[in-house]
Structure 1
C-alpha cells in the first residue's frame, strides 16, 4: 500500500497581499496527477487545510473539487483539522463523506477510531492491517478536561491522545499484526519553523517531545512549513507552497510511504513545482538595479532590503522598474550616521522654526535631510497653514 503525506494546504491564503488561489489550484492539479502516476492509495492531510476558520465560498469550492478528483483517481483521503481550521465546519457531513472514501478526523471522540485497511495481497482482513489514526488540533485549554490531561499543556494533551491510540492498538494487536500511521498537527521538538506558521502557544513553549510518537510505524506531522525528517518515522511534509519569504530556500513536496504486511518498507520524496520563484535581495539600490547577478529575480516575488546610507527617493518605484513583483521593501542603512530618538529630541528642542521641525522629522524617519525641492514644498505648506489660521 502506498500513502502520500501532505499538510498545511492553507487554502485561501494570500502572499503579502497577492491572492494564491490560482497557485493552489495548480497544486491540486499536480497532486491529482501524482496520485495517478505514483499509484497512491491513501492521501494524508495533516491539518490546516484552510487558512482561516471561515473560508470563502471559492475556497470551499476548491477543497470540494480536490476531494472529488482525488476520490476519482482512486485514492482514499484521511484529513485532520489544524489550528487554522474550524474543526466543526471542516468536519461537517463526515459520516456521509466516509462513504465516498474521505475520512475526516476533526472530533476528539474520533482520535482513537482508526481507518483499517488490509495489507495482505488478497485483501484478507484477518492478516496484517494498517490502522490510520487522526489527531485533530488539540487546544489544551479546551480539551484537557475531556482527555484527563494535567496540566493543560500541549505536552499533556498530546500524551493523553497518543496513550488512547496505543490502548486501541494494543486491543487490535491481540487479534493479529497491526501497523499504524498517526496524523498530528503540532510543533514537535527538533522541528525548524518559518515565518508563516502561527505560534501554537503563548511564549512558544508548545513543542512536544518525539518520544510521544514512539511505537507508531509512521507519524505524519503538520504545522511546520518546511519538509523535514525528525526521525526515520516522524516527519513533516511541509506546505505545498511557500507562504513567507523565510521559505525561499525550501524545496516543497511530500513524502511517499510504502507499507506492506511487515510494516513500512520505504519512504521517498515527492516534490512540487513552485509557481513563482522567491527572491530575497540585499544591497544598495544602484547595485541592485545594475548588477547582472540579479537577472534571475526579475520575474520572482521579491523581498528587498536596501543598505544605502541614506534612504533613496522613490525607492519602490525605481526597484519595480526592474523587479515588478517587489512585495516587501526594507531599509538597513550601512555606513551612515545613526540617529537615535534622543538625538531627534535634541534637534527638536533646538529647532529655530517650524520648517526646521519638519525637516528634522523627515531626517529622523527616513535617514536623510530634506533636499531643496522638499524644503520648498514644506515652506509652501506651512505658509498655507499660517494663512488659514490667520483667516479664522
Structure 2
C-alpha cells in the first residue's frame, strides 16, 4: 500500500504580512501531481489544515478545491489539529465519507478506522487533555495520558482485524524539535509524548511540528509544506511517500516547491549594503539584525533598496548597548503564555506575581483553551 503523508498546511496563514495563499495553492498543485505520478492509494493529512478556528473565505475555498481534486484521484483521511475548529472542520464529515474524503475530528471515534485496501487507518485528532479527561476517566490531565488512551482503543480494534494498521495523530512526540511557528500546547498539560505510545502500528503519520522529523522508521512528522517562521530557514519542506510492505516500511521524502528562500543576516548596515558576499541574499525573505553601536537612520528603507524582501529588522549593538534592543517577538520567544502574563503583572504592580495570581492566570488560560476547542 502506498500513502502520502502531509500535515500542517495552515491555509490562510501569512508570513510576516506576506500573503502565502498563492504559494499554498502551488503546494496543492504539487500534491495532486505527486498523487497522480506515484499512484498514491491514500493521502493522510495530519491536522492543522487551517491556521485558525475561523478561517478566511479564500482559505476555505482552497481547501475545498484541494480535497475535491484529491478525491478524484485517491482516498483522503484528514484529522483536526490544534489550530482547527473540530466542529467546523468536521461539518459534513458523514457526507464526505461517501466521496472518499474521511474527516476525523471527534475524539469519541478514535477506535473506528477507515478501511483502505488491506489497511485500517485510524484518525486521532488533536486531543485537548482537559476535554477528554473526564469522558475517558483518565487519572491525569496530560497529552501523554490522552494519547495513551486513544492508542489503547486503536489497538483494541486493530487486534480484531487482519492486515496493516496506520495512525494519524497531532501531538508533540519526543524526538522532534519545535520551531517558532507552532502554537504552544503545554498549557493543557505536559506537552511531550513518548514515541513508544505508537508501538504496534505499521505507520504513525504525525502532525504539529513543522520540521520533517524521522522519530523512527514507523513514526514520522511530515512537517509543514511551507516555512512559517525564520527558525525554519534550514528546513526542507515536503511530504513522506510511504510504502507499507510485508517486510516493513519504505519512505521517501518528496520535496515541495519553495516560493522564496529564507535567510537571517547579521552585521553593520554598511557591510550589509556594500558587501559582495551578500549578493545571493538579495531575492530572499530576510530577517536582519543590525550590530551598529547606534540605530542607523531610515534603516529599513535603506536595506530594502538592496534587499527588497526584508521582512524583520532587529538591533543588537556589538559590545552591548543601553536598554533591551530586541524586538517583542525575540523577547517572548520560547516563553510560555503564563510567563508572559506574569511579566505583565510584575510590570504593573512593581512585584512578581504571587502563587495565587499565577493560579488565577493558569485557570484563565485553561478556560480560554477549552472554549476555543469548542468553537
Q: TM-score under structure 1 normalisation? A: 0.80
Query: 2:55 matched to 1:49?
Result: no
Answer with 1 or 2: which has the greater Rg.
1
Query: 2:150 matched to 1:150?
Result: no
State the Cα distance separating 1:265 from its structure 2 match: 4.2
Distance 1:265 1:194 in 2: 27
State the Cα distance separating 1:9 from its structure 2 match: 0.2
Q: How many residues align?
A: 324
Match of 2:226 in 1: 241
Q: How does 1:152-301 map to 2 (within 5 A)?
A: 152-172=141-161, 177-202=162-187, 205-260=190-245, 262=246, 264-301=248-285
Q: Which has the higher contact order (CA 8 A, sep 6+)?
A: 2
Distance 1:265 1:283 in 2: 46
Cα deviation, 1:84-114, whole Å, max 9, x if unaligned, reads: 0000100111111011110011111221111
State the Cα distance separating 1:279 from its structure 2 match: 1.5
Match of 1:132 in 2: 121
Q: How does 1:63-74 map to 2 (within 5 A)?
A: 63-72=63-72, 74=73
Q: Is the 8 A contact 2:142 2:189 kept in 1?
A: no
Change (3 A) 1:203 1:150: closer
State the Cα distance separating 1:263 from its structure 2 match: 5.9
Change (3 A) 1:230 1:99: same
Q: Is the 8 A contact 1:257 1:264 kept in 2?
A: no
Distance 1:157 1:12 in 2: 29
**Residue 317 of structure 1, aligned match among 301, 324, 343:** 301
State the Cα distance separating 1:205 from its structure 2 match: 3.0
Partner of 1:224, secondary structure, is coil
State the Cα distance separating 1:322 from its structure 2 match: 0.4
Partner of 1:230, secondary structure, is coil
Partner of 1:197, secondary structure, is coil
Change (3 A) 1:75 1:263: farther
Distance 1:80 1:265 in 2: 22
Match of 1:92 in 2: 91
Change (3 A) 1:25 1:253: same
User: 5+ residue gaps in structure 2?
Assistant: 325-375
State the Cα distance separating 1:178 from its structure 2 match: 2.1
Change (3 A) 1:197 1:204: farther
Match of 1:102 in 2: 101
Cα deviation, 1:327-348, whole Å, max 9, x if unaligned, reads: 1000010036x3259xxxxxxx
Partner of 1:299, secondary structure, is coil
Give the 4+ runs in structure 1 shifted more than 6 A.
none
Partner of 2:240, secondary structure, is strand
Cα deviation, 1:349-380, whole Å, max 9, x if unaligned, reads: xxxxxxxxxxxxxxxxxxxxxxxxxxxxxxxx
Query: 2:61 matched to 1:61?
Result: yes
Q: Is the 8 A contact 1:185 1:223 kept in 2?
A: yes
Match of 1:387 in 2: none
Distance 1:312 1:320 in 2: 14
Distance 2:49 2:248 in 1: 26
Q: Is the 8 A contact 1:241 1:274 kept in 2?
A: yes
Distance 2:126 2:251 in 1: 25
Distance 1:331 1:230 in 2: 37
User: 5+ residue gaps in structure 1?
Assistant: 119-128, 342-392
